[in-house]
């Protein structure tokens, strides 16, 4: 190591003392290093800035989507509440209609029983009426036969309707 | 030397500045990324919440749809049940009404049957008047059974060949023999309600056959009520001729007395004489019209003037033939004449065809006078309809208001022919031009 080298390594190199060519060479290397450092720093800074801008953009997008989604949730909540209210009303109607149907079914069954009783009674009365008509016809026939002195015809007419007369009296009694 | 230090200081400051800037930039970037991740996390949670709510909404909507269908089914069932209830209740109402009407029918039938049975018992005890009273007491009930008065039915018992006269404010109707006696007589204040009076002719002359008296006709001539009737002359085996006799009374309900020793008219060569009918013309002159049976020939209707008392023919007069059967609907038989004067015209009503059938009907002829000549009007004016069959034995009379009526007997629609009853019917009669019109039954 020369004296010059030692001086350079010690940082105490006196430029004015180094040859001009060597001093210019050192100055150029410093500028290059400075430029490279600047470029590297600028690139790093640019990368960081770009990355942050991208992150902010994504954040904005996500935030907007979140707002939209929250609005949709609110709308669906409204719809859901409406449908639930509707369902509650329907269930109330179903309960009421079920009770009404049960009551009507009971009423219908009672009406059918009453109708069947009335029809059975009418059928029985119709039978009585038929017997009474038959009985009356025979008795009138006997009366007419007696009016012309035909007693045997009168007896036969009464005999012919005796069953109907007995049936009518029994049913009516 | 100082310059160098200054430059070192500048460089060091620059380096520190750069480091600070870079540090700040990195920190800011990291913070932005962190915030970004946090926002994405919230966004994912929000998406999840939205998806869950949408699922809830879909499920709830589906349940609501099912519930709606169930409710609609229930409401349809309720509506159907209400319809069935209404239908059943309507049927129930109809059945109740029918039951009530049947009860009324049964009550009416019992009333009618009771009267008829009582009448039968009275006959068995020989109490004919009681029998007549018993049967007339249930006239209304028995009329109802036969269909009421809609067809003109007013007395639902055997009352053939009726003749109705108005005396004062009371109508009297006379008819062929029955359980009520030789000549039935009933009365009414209003032509609707009729009550049995009894037997107008309780005693027959000795030459007459019992239970063989029919087709009476009564008129008031002066202060006397004159009754003509058909009667079978007593003969071997009860097979004597059919003739006409006369009886008189001082009141319309009788008793009429027949003091004759023989019939007034017989026409034995024409098969006998029956169905007499008295006619008093507008001048007060009495006539008798009747039917000859025809014997081997056709029946015919006759007319002859009576004396002033109305109990015998005017001497030196002879019967005049008015009509013979010549229309197809008459079936070769005409009978039961009844001559009336209406609006200056003489109308001769008559029955035709077989009295035992539904073909029996009433026709009419226009006559120039009480002894003819007569010209038949087309077709029967009264024949079977839905409410009665085989009308005939008619008599025409005027009510208290001057209205014309025709009284006739007819069979019930489901009981045509002997031994069924021929009941008494009354219907209004009008004359349109020269043509009599009988009101239709309702």
* CA-based nearest distance B109→chain A, Å: 6
Say yes or no: B51 contacts chain A, CB-CB below 8 A.
no
Structure confidence by residue, pLDDT tens digits, B121-144: 887 787 877 877 787 778 777 777
pLDDT for residue A24: 80
Hey, are the CB atoms on B54 and A56 less than 8 Å from each other? no
User: Please, what is the average pLDDT of chain B?
Assistant: 90
For residue B442, pLDDT over 70 is answered with: no
Dihedral pair phi/psi, residue A156, rounded to 5°: -65, -40
DSSP assigned state of B269: G
User: B37 Cβ partners below 8 Å, 6+ apart?
Assistant: none
pLDDT for residue A13: 47
**Which residue is closest to A125 within chain B, CA to CA?**
B102
Question: Measured between CB atoms, which of B77, B106, B158 is closest to A144?
Answer: B158
- Chain B residues whose beta carbon lies within 8 Å of the beta carbon of residue A49: 25
As a residue count, chain A comes to 173
Tell me the CB-side half-sphere exposure of residue A138, using CA atoms within 13 A. 17
pLDDT for residue A4: 43
**Which residue is closest to B11 within chain A, CA to CA?**
A34
Hey, are the CB atoms on A143 and B158 less than 8 Å from each other? yes
Long-range contacts of B99-108 (CB under 8 A, 24+ apart): B99/A118, B99/A121, B99/A122, B99/A125, B102/A122, B102/A125, B102/A126, B102/A129, B103/A125, B105/A125, B105/A129, B105/B145, B106/A125, B106/A128, B106/A129, B106/A132, B106/A172, B108/B141, B108/B144, B108/B145
User: B223 Cβ partners below 8 Å, 6+ apart?
Assistant: B250
ipTM for the whole complex: 0.70
The alpha carbon of B106 is separated from its chain's Cα centroid by a whole number of angstroms, namely: 18
pTM over 0.90: no
Hey, are the CB atoms on A45 and B60 less than 8 Å from each other? no
Structure confidence by residue, pLDDT tens digits, B161-196: 999 999 999 999 999 988 778 999 999 999 988 888
Q: Which residue has the higher pLDDT, B4 or B430?
A: B430
Q: Using an 8 Å Cβ cutoff, are B380 and B336 in contact?
A: no
Mean pLDDT to the nearest integer, B416-433: 88
Distance CA B406, CA A15 (A): 171
Tell which B residues from 251 to 280 touch A, by Cβ distance under 8 Å.
none
Mean pLDDT to the nearest integer, B94-99: 87
- Chain A residues whose beta carbon lies within 8 Å of the beta carbon of residue B85: 104, 107-108, 111
Record the tokens describing residue B395, joined without a space.
């008599």
Report the sign of the C-alpha dihedral through residues B9, B14, B20, B22, in that order: negative
Mean pLDDT to the nearest integer, B59-84: 94
- Chain B residues whose beta carbon lies within 8 Å of the beta carbon of residue A44: 22, 25
The alpha carbon of B265 is separated from its chain's Cα centroid by a whole number of angstroms, namely: 41
For residue B14, pLDDT over 60 is answered with: yes
- Chain B residues whose beta carbon lies within 8 Å of the beta carbon of residue A121: 99
Distances (CA, A) of B389 to B249, B299, B352, B428: 34, 23, 13, 18
Q: Which residue has the higher pLDDT, B112 or A96?
A: A96
- SS3 of residue B343 by DSSP: coil
The total domain count for chain A is 1
Hey, are the CB atoms on A144 and B421 less than 8 Å from each other? yes
Say yes or no: B7 contacts chain A, CB-CB below 8 A.
no
Distance CA A64, CA A54 (A): 15
pLDDT for residue B238: 56
DSSP assigned state of B411: E
pLDDT band for position B296 (50/70/90)? confident
pLDDT for residue B150: 65
Between A and B, how many residue pairs show a Cβ–Cβ distance under 8 A?
196
Report the sign of the C-alpha dihedral through residues A47, A53, A54, A55, in that order: positive
pLDDT for residue B106: 86
pLDDT for residue A20: 74
- Domain extent at residue A54: 3-172
For residue B261, pLDDT over 70 is answered with: yes
Mean pLDDT to the nearest integer, B42-61: 94
pLDDT for residue B38: 93
- Chain A residues whose beta carbon lies within 8 Å of the beta carbon of residue B103: 125
Hey, are the CB atoms on B117 and A91 less than 8 Å from each other? no
pLDDT for residue A3: 41
Question: Measured between CB atoms, which of B29, B82, B92 is closest to A104?
Answer: B82
Q: Which residues of B416-425 are buried (b: 16+ CB within 10 A; e: fewer)?
A: beebbbbbbb
Dihedral pair phi/psi, residue B313, rounded to 5°: -70, 155
Mean pLDDT to the nearest integer, B193-212: 90
Say yes or no: B129 contacts chain A, CB-CB below 8 A.
no
pLDDT for residue A6: 42
Tell which B residues from 393 to 432 touch A, by Cβ distance under 8 Å.
415, 418-421
pLDDT values of chain A reduced to their tens digit, one per residue, 173 residues: 334 444 444 444 454 555 777 778 888 888 898 889 889 888 988 998 899 899 899 999 999 999 999 999 999 999 999 999 999 999 999 999 999 999 999 999 999 999 999 999 999 888 888 888 888 888 888 877 877 777 788 888 888 888 888 887 776 65
Report the sign of the C-alpha dihedral through residues A71, A77, A82, A83, in that order: positive
- Chain B residues whose beta carbon lies within 8 Å of the beta carbon of residue A84: 60
Hey, are the CB atoms on B57 and A79 less than 8 Å from each other? yes
pLDDT for residue A107: 93
pLDDT for residue A2: 39
């Amino acid at each position: 190591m020369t004296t010059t080298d030692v001086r350079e390594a010690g940082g105490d190199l006196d430029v004015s003392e180094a040859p001009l060519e060597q001093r210019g060479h050192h100055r150029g290397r410093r500028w290059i290093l400075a430029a490279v450092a600047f470029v590297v720093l600028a690139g790093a800074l640019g990368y960081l800035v770009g990355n942050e801008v991208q992150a902010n953009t994504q954040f904005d997008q996500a935030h907007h989507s979140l707002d939209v989604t929250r609005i949709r949730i609110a709308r669906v909540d409204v719809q859901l509440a409406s449908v639930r209210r509707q369902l509650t009303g329907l269930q109330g109607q179903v309960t009421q209609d079920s009770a009404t149907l049960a009551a009507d079914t009971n009423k219908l069954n009672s009406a059918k029983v009453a109708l069947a009783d009335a029809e059975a009674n009418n059928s029985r009365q119709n039978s009585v009426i038929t017997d009474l008509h038959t009985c009356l016809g025979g008795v009138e026939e006997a009366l007419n036969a007696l009016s012309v002195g035909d007693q045997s015809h009168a007896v036969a007419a009464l005999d012919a309707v005796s069953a109907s007369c007995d049936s009518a009296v029994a049913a009516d009694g | 030397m100082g310059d160098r230090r200054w430059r070192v200081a500048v460089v060091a400051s620059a380096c520190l500045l750069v480091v600070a800037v870079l540090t700040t930039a990195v920190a800011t970037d990291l913070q932005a990324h962190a915030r970004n991740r946090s926002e994405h996390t919230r966004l994912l949670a929000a998406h999840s919440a939205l998806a869950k709510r949408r699922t809830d909404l879909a499920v709830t909507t589906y349940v609501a749809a099912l519930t709606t269908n169930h409710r609609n089914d229930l409401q349809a069932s309720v509506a159907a049940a209400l319809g069935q209830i209404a239908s059943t209740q309507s049927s129930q109402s109809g059945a109740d009404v029918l039951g009530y009407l049947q009860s009324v029918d049964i009550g009416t039938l019992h009333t009618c049957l009771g009267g008829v049975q009582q009448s039968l018992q009275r006959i068995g005890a020989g109490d004919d008047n009681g029998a007549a009273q018993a049967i007339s007491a249930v006239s209304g009930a028995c009329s109802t059974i036969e269909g009421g008065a809609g067809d003109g039915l007013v007395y639902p018992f055997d009352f053939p060949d009726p003749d109705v006269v108005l005396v004062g404010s009371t109508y009297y109707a006379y008819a062929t023999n029955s359980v009520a006696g030789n000549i039935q007589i009933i009365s009414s204040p209003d032509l609707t309600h009729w009550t049995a009076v009894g037997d107008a002719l309780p005693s027959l002359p000795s030459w007459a056959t019992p239970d063989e008296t029919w087709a009476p006709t009564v008129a008031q001539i002066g202060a006397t009520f004159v009754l003509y009737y058909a009667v079978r002359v007593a003969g071997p085996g009860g097979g004597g001729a059919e003739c006409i006799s006369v009886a008189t009374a001082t009141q319309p309900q009788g008793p009429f007395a027949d003091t004759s020793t023989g019939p007034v008219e017989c026409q034995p060569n024409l098969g006998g004489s029956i169905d007499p009918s008295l006619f008093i013309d507008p001048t007060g002159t009495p006539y008798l019209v009747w039917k000859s049976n025809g014997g081997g020939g056709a029946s015919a209707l006759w007319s002859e003037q009576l004396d002033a008392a109305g109990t015998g023919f005017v001497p030196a007069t002879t019967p005049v033939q008015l009509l013979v059967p010549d229309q197809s609907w008459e079936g070769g038989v005409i009978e039961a004449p009844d001559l009336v004067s209406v609006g200056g015209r003489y109308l001769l009503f008559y029955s035709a065809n077989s009295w035992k059938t539904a073909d029996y009907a009433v026709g009419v002829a226009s006559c120039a006078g009480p002894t003819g000549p007569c010209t038949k009007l087309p077709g029967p004016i009264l024949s079977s309809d839905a409410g009665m069959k085989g009308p005939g034995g008619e008599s025409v009379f005027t009510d208290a208001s001057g209205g014309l009526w025709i009284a006739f007997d007819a069979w019930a629609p489901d009981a045509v022919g002997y031994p069924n009853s021929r009941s008494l019917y009354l219907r209004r009669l009008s004359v349109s031009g020269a043509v009599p019109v009988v009101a239709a039954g309702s």
